[in-house]
Structure 1
Amino acid sequence: MKIIIVNKNHAQARSFTLGGWTRAFLSVCLLGIPTFVGAWGYSWLVSGDKDGFFTTDSKAWMDILSAHETEIEQERAASEAQIAALTSKMAELQARLMRLDALGEKLTSAANLEQGEFDFSQVPPLGGPSKAPHVYQTPDFFAAIDQLSGQVDSREQQLNTIESLLANRSLQEETLLSGAPVANAWMTSRFGYRKDPFTGKTEFHSGLDFAAPTGSKVSSVAAGIVNWAGRHPEYGNMVEVKHGDGLVTRYAHNKSNLVKAGDVVKKGQVIALSGSTGRSTAPHVHFEVYKNGRVVDPASYIRRTTR
């Protein structure tokens, strides 16, 4: 066998002659090695030894997949817990808002405020252009809920303050001396000097007289405590009520007293029925007012109004 080798310029050529043993060796190398590799591969595939080859990599992949599944389950559980917490918080805020709305409607009605201005059944109108750059950001739900909770707390405090102010105003109205002791009655005698109906002499009249049919309701002109209730030789059946600021009122010539000493009475509460007991010429209500132990004209208190 003869082999000719030519250089890249084709300028020179060399030839070799291979002997029998050399040709046999090259044939074994060129044909035997691929045959051997093919035979070994075939025997490996059919023998099952390939399991050992992949065992380490397969186990590592399974561990990685298992770890990912665990992380996914943990994330799912955390998400469900957050959703449950959000739902509970929103329900709590909704309940508080409903109570605030009910309180707001109550205060609006009690204070005689404009319904259009204080309509707690409607969402407050809000608006205005945004000066922030239009960049979308993922909302932080818990931060939003905390902010809403703070607004609810602030609104609740404001409404409680309004309610407290209204309660104080109601208390002032209760303790303010104002109005007449008997409804739909006309005044028959004023405060000051007059002719005494029994003697005809000029004498000081310490109160106001209101004509009232027997059995008419006599009401307290302010809240207070009954200081005295009983029979007096000149006043007849009389009730005396002690109020704040050194004020005391008397209701005399009653047919009957409906309260007793020590009773707490409200403004407008019926405390007696009118009559003509004691030093009286006809059924009427004799009304007196004392300020720090000194009798004063009740007319100025009758005309008083709440401010």
Structure 2
Amino acid sequence: MKVILINNEHSGARFLELGRKTRAVLSLCFLGVPLSMLGLGYFVAQLAPTSMQRDINLGAMQDELEQQSEAVADLRAASQRKLQALTRSAAELEASLVRLDALGQRLTDLAGLEQGEFDFGSKPALGGPLLRNDEGTALRYDLGTELKALEQRVLDREQQLEILQSLLLNRQFADDIYLSGRPIKKGWMSSAFGSRTDPFTGRNAWHGGVDFAGKDGSDIVVVAAGVVTWSGERSGYGDMVEVNHGSGYSTRYAHNKTNLVEVGDLVKKGEVIAAMGSSGRSTGPHVHYEVYKHGRPVDPASYIHRSRR
């Protein structure tokens, strides 16, 4: 292959003879460079979408991680609030338990019960097998377990208090219907039960009660709880009040100035039921007090001075 070189200054030309290897190298240069550029462009074009897709995937993963981080933060805050609420509940239960223990101990002391019959100073006796989860391992202690234990202690104290209340109410009821004491707040015994000289005839006569003298209009009180079965005038008694106490007992309060209760009224022990006077067959202000047991008069003195053990 010949190459002609022209020189403008000398208007001459030169001829170059190219060999086969030289022609091959020149052909490779002229053809290889464009092909290489074309291949590089294609590679760059293929690589650009892959890089963009990778950037998009990385951005999506970062957004998801941020959302998960926010969810974990919200869960942690909610757990903290729940823990605080459970802690407050535990503190309130503990405070209630302390008050119940103090009240129960006070009532036990007031009732004169033996120590140990009602125990408000120790935890209730509990038991049972060790609980295990599905994997066979023991369940871990948590605040919820402590709350359940406190609730159990409060329930135990409430049950003891209910029994103690019932016991005290029964004892109070028994005390209320127990005949004892005098039917007056102020005064003195002026006549005893049994045989005596009648103040009107001067003869020996039977006196079926005891007399308590005092100031006109002073209080007359019932010696035990019961139901009023008579309130009004009765021959020889003047204005009289009769109270039925159950178990076969009844009492009478006679010669009253004024009756303050009516038939059917429920009266408590020590309640004022009348004012002292001198109505009926009487020589002066006093109360004639009688006690009946199963319909028969008995000496009130044995009930006036007795006390419940």
What per-residue deviation string (whole Å, max 9, x for no partner) do you get for residues 171-208 of structure 1? Answer: 12211111000123222221112222222222221001
Which amino acid in structure 1 is aligned with residue 72 of structure 2? I
CA contact (8 A) 2:97 2:153 kept: no
Choose which of 210, 213, 216 in structure 2 pairs with 1:211: 213
Q: Which residue matches 2:197?
A: 195
Q: Which residue matches 2:18?
A: none
What per-residue deviation string (whole Å, max 9, x for no partner) do you get for residues 193-241 of structure 1? Answer: 2222222222221001112121111111111111111112311111111
Shift of 1:73: 4.9
> Structure 1-normalised TM-score?
0.69
CA contact (8 A) 1:179 1:303 kept: yes
Which amino acid in structure 2 is aligned with residue 65 of structure 1? L
Q: Which residue matches 2:249?
A: 247
Q: Which residue matches 1:7?
A: none
Which amino acid in structure 1 is aligned with residue 239 of structure 2? N
Shift of 1:58: 2.5
83-92 or 274-283: which moved more? Answer: 83-92
Is 1:65 the counterpart of 2:65? The answer is: yes
Q: Which residue matches 1:133?
A: none
Question: What secondary structure is seen at the aligned counterpart in 2 of 1:243?
Answer: strand
CA contact (8 A) 2:231 2:262 kept: yes
Matches within 5 A, 1:1-307: 44=44, 48=48, 51-52=51-52, 54-55=54-55, 58=58, 61-62=61-62, 65=65, 68-69=68-69, 72-73=72-73, 75-76=75-76, 79-80=79-80, 82-83=82-83, 85-87=85-87, 89-90=89-90, 93=93, 96-97=96-97, 100=100, 103-104=103-104, 107=107, 111=111, 139-307=141-309
Shift of 1:162: 1.5
For residues 40 and 300 of structure 1, the distance between their equivalents in structure 2, rounded to whole angstroms, comes to 130
Which amino acid in structure 1 is aligned with residue 221 of structure 2? S
Question: What secondary structure is seen at the aligned counterpart in 1 of 2:232?
Answer: strand
What per-residue deviation string (whole Å, max 9, x for no partner) do you get for residues 95-133 of structure 1? Answer: 7447636854873686489xxxx9x9xxx699xxxxxxx
Shift of 1:273: 1.2
For residues 283 and 162 of structure 2, the distance between their equivalents in structure 1, rounded to whole angstroms, comes to 54
Question: What secondary structure is seen at the aligned counterpart in 1 of 2:281?
Answer: coil
Q: Which residue matches 2:10?
A: none
For residues 57 and 64 of structure 1, the distance between their equivalents in structure 2, rounded to whole angstroms, comes to 11
Cα 1:243/1:158, change in 2 over 3 Å: same
Question: What secondary structure is seen at the aligned counterpart in 2 of 1:262?
Answer: coil
CA contact (8 A) 2:242 2:252 kept: yes
For residues 244 and 53 of structure 2, the distance between their equivalents in structure 1, rounded to whole angstroms, comes to 107
For residues 283 and 146 of structure 2, the distance between their equivalents in structure 1, rounded to whole angstroms, comes to 77
Shift of 1:52: 4.0
Shift of 1:57: 5.7
Runs of 5+ unmatched residues, structure 2: 1-20, 124-138
Shift of 1:242: 1.1
For residues 234 and 109 of structure 1, the distance between their equivalents in structure 2, rounded to whole angstroms, comes to 49
For residues 69 and 250 of structure 1, the distance between their equivalents in structure 2, rounded to whole angstroms, comes to 87
What per-residue deviation string (whole Å, max 9, x for no partner) do you get for residues 121-167 of structure 1? Answer: xxx699xxxxxxxxxx9740101111111111111211222222222
Which amino acid in structure 1 is aligned with residue 303 of structure 2? Y
> Structure 2-normalised TM-score?
0.68
Question: What secondary structure is seen at the aligned counterpart in 2 of 1:183?
Answer: coil
Shift of 1:246: 1.4
Q: Rg bigger for which structure?
A: 2
276-285 or 243-252: which moved more? Answer: 276-285
| Paired positions, count | 257
For residues 251 and 86 of structure 1, the distance between their equivalents in structure 2, rounded to whole angstroms, comes to 63
> Matched residues, percent identical?
49
CA contact (8 A) 1:44 1:50 kept: no
The CA RMSD over aligned residues, in Å, is 4.0
